[in-house]
């Protein structure tokens, strides 16, 4: 069974902002933008990936 396509990931920020996608790079970009805009912080892709958790399946 091909599971890659359904492999959702999510990141939740301390402030409650949450993003979810099956595209890790998209989550990384969105999280970096959010953290920069909202918290005036820079976050590396590695840090964002460290925050990633399995997302919820939506069927």
Q: Which two tokens stand for residue 19?
A: 């993003």
Query: Please, which residue, 22 or 39, has the CB nearer to Zn ion?
Result: 39
Q: How far is CA 10 from CA 1, 27, 35, in A?
A: 22, 7, 15
Binding mask 1-40 for Zn ion (x = CB under 5 A): ------------x-x-x--------------------x--
Phi, psi of 33 (to 5 degrees): -65, -45
**Number of residues binding to Zn ion, judged by CB under 5 A:** 4
Contacts with Zn ion by CB under 5 A lie at 13, 15, 17, 38
């Amino acid at each position: 069974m091909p599971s890659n396509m359904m492999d959702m990931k999510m990141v939740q920020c301390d402030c409650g902002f949450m993003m979810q996608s099956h595209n890790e790079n998209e989550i990384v970009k969105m999280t970096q933008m959010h953290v920069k805009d909202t918290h005036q912080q820079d976050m590396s892709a590695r840090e964002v990936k460290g925050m990633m958790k399995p997302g919820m399946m939506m069927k």
